């Protein structure tokens, strides 16, 4: 297994300037986990991410937002007013020493400050300029505003969730923001690997759209060809899953499981019903046919429901998996923290935060790289924590110059 902290991450030579607002703040964390030096640039006084809930113990404060702690972990942080001419100049200096710049401004917003893709890439052709916007840099809605809710709605991701008699339900934890950041980072890494390989030593402009990113999940679940070929429009169906039957079942302990019968193991399911003495009318050969089962889903769902009601969630999960049926618990966060598999793999990670006198236990990284592990071991930066390091060591400003910039409110 991967020995944590053994070696630097795969992006240890990469520096990232992170100007992202909430819609793209996850992108920088993904870079930072992989070992990149991610420098988060905040306006003096702190950026809006620090006012996002939830707060530690419910008390607001510039260092108390768990949103900031989660999404900015592993980054360094500086304060810089890029709307000030001198601030913009310093940012240009930082970009010249960086590989990637991440921004989420409305199209044209940074160009107005002299910090647009063309301007910065003219000075630094190696720069990979990563923009994340709701609808992309071009097109009829490029100037439209969106939060995660709006992007989730317009990507089709919302319409499919919920019960038919309820409004469509937005996915939890801002999935459009997450998908946007994921696809954007893929775009930036494609540009990085391309820069490594094609001999031009030139970066690229990466344009990521929240709507397009989140729409992929919809266009697969509700494949576009349902409409283009059949004029069908998939709708939200509550507990009814893709194959026409119910997808979630309540267990004896009132917890829930997801229960799917994979086609090769129908017999395993029947055997389990028989062992439990559960009455059913599923013995005929026609039930072996997946299509038939899809069209006559109710008796199958009733049998699964009867089985589920006999066991608690944990028993159903492990016994189902032992029988090669695809049973999964519907977990909440508390369940996950206690889960044996995740403990074995040490998925959750404790990060010390001395200033708060706490250790923050959070979701870890999504992948284990054997030679260059990704890691989460640094708390989010305090406001302006790395001003001296970045403006001094990296940009070469002496103490007097830094003090002058602080006095004039630039940093």
Partner 1 sequence: MTASNGRGLPLEGIRVADFFWLIAGPASSRVLADFGAEVIKIESLSRVDRIREGGVQPPEGAIADSNGVFNDCNTNKRSISLNLSTPRGVELAKEIVRRSDVVTNNFTGDRMERWGLDYASLRAIRPDVIMLSMPVMGTTGPYVRYGAYGNGVIAFSGLSTNMGPPDRPPIGIAPLYSDFSAPYFATIAILAALHHRELTGEGQFIDLAQAESGMALLGTGPLEYTVNGVLPPRLGNRSRDHCPHGAYRCAGADRWCVIAVGSDDEWRLLCEAMARMDLATDPRFATFEARKRHEDALDDEIGAWTASRDPWQVMHVLQAFDVAAGVVEDLADMVVRDPHLPGNHLREISRAGESVSFLTHAQPMRLDGESPPLRRAPLMGEHNEYVFRELLGMSEDAYVRALADGAIY
Residues in 308-327 at the binding interface with partner 1, rule: CB under 8 A: 321, 324, 326-327
Three-state DSSP at 29 gives helix
Residue among 15, 40, 50, 70 that touches partner 1 (CB under 8 A) = 70
Instruction: Verify binding: residue 354, partner 1, rule CB under 8 A.
Output: no
Binding mask 324-353 for partner 1 (x = CB under 8 A): x-xxxxxxxxxxxx--xxx-xx-xx-----
Q: Which two three-digit tokens encode residue 81?
A: 């007013």
Of 248, 259, 253, 280, the closest CA to residue 323 belongs to 259
Instruction: Verify binding: residue 1, partner 1, rule CB under 8 A.
Output: yes
Q: Which two three-digit tokens encode residue 280?
A: 């059913």
Of 330, 325, 290, 338, the closest CA to residue 312 belongs to 330
Residue span binding partner 1 (CB under 8 A) among the ranges 219-227, 299-307, 381-389, 400-408: 219-227
Residue span binding partner 1 (CB under 8 A) among the ranges 179-187, 267-275, 278-286, 390-398: 179-187
- Cα separation, 255 vs 54, in Å, equals 26
Report the residue number, 121 or 411, with the smaller CB distance to partner 1.
Answer: 121
List the beta bridge partners of residue 132. Answer: 208
Residue among 109, 312, 319, 362 that touches partner 1 (CB under 8 A) = 362
> Considering only residues 233-272, where is the footprint of partner 1 by CB under 8 A?
233-235, 238-239, 241-242, 247-248, 250, 256-258, 260, 262-263
- For residue 216, what are the contacts with CB-CB under 8 A and spacing of at least 6? 179
Residue span binding partner 1 (CB under 8 A) among the ranges 77-85, 228-236, 272-280, 388-396: 228-236
Q: Contacts from 312-315 at CB under 8 Å and sequence distance 24+?
A: 312/251, 312/252, 312/253, 312/255, 313/251, 313/253, 313/255, 313/256, 313/257
Instruction: Verify binding: residue 371, partner 1, rule CB under 8 A.
Output: yes
Instruction: Verify binding: residue 183, partner 1, rule CB under 8 A.
Output: yes
Instruction: Verify binding: residue 360, partner 1, rule CB under 8 A.
Output: yes
Instruction: Verify binding: residue 150, partner 1, rule CB under 8 A.
Output: yes
Three-state DSSP at 270 gives helix
Report the residue number, 283 or 291, with the smaller CB distance to partner 1.
Answer: 291
Of 72, 89, 71, the closest CA to residue 80 belongs to 89
């Amino acid at each position: 297994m991967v020995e944590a902290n053994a070696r630097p991450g795969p992006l240890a030579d990469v520096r990232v300037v992170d100007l992202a607002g909430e819609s793209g703040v996850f992108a920088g964390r993904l870079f930072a986990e992989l070992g990149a030096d991610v420098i988060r640039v905040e306006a003096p006084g702190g950026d809006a991410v620090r006012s996002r809930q939830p707060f530690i113990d419910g008390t607001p404060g510039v260092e108390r937002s768990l949103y900031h702690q989660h999404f900015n972990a592993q980054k360094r942080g500086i304060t810089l007013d890029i709307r000030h001419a001198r601030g913009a100049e310093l940012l240009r200096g930082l970009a010249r020493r960086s590989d990637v710049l991440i921004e989420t401004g409305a199209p044209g917003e940074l160009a107005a400050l002299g910090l647009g893709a063309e301007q910065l890439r003219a000075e630094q052709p190696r720069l990979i300029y990563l923009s994340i916007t709701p609808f992309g840099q071009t097109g009829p809605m490029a100037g439209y505003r969106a939060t995660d809710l709006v992007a989730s709605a317009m990507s089709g991701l919302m319409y499919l969730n919920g019960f038919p008699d309820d409004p469509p339900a937005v996915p939890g934890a801002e999935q459009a923001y997450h998908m946007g950041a994921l696809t954007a980072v893929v775009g930036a890494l494609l540009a990085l690997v391309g820069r490594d390989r094609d001999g031009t030593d030139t970066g690229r402009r990466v344009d990521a759209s929240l709507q397009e990113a989140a729409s992929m999940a919809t266009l697969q679940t509700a494949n576009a060809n349902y409409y283009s070929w059949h004029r069908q429009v998939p709708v939200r169906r509550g507990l009814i899953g893709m194959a026409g039957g119910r997808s979630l079942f309540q267990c004896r302990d009132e917890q829930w499981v997801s229960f799917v019968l994979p086609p090769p193991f129908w017999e395993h399911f029947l055997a389990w019903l028989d062992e439990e003495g559960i009455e059913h009318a599923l013995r005929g050969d026609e039930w072996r046919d997946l299509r038939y089962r899809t069209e006559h889903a109710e008796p199958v769902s009733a049998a699964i429901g009867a089985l589920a009601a006999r066991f608690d969630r944990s028993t159903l999960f492990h016994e189902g998996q032992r029988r090669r049926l695809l049973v999964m618990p519907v977990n909440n966060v508390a369940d996950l923290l206690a889960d044996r598999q995740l403990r074995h793999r040490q998925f959750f990670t404790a990060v010390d935060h001395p200033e708060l006198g706490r250790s923050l236990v959070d979701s870890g990284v999504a992948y284990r790289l054997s030679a260059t592990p990704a890691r989460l071991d640094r708390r989010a930066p305090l406001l302006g924590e790395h001003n001296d390091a970045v403006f001094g060591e990296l940009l070469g400003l002496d103490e007097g110059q830094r003090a002058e910039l602080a006095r004039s409110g630039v940093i």
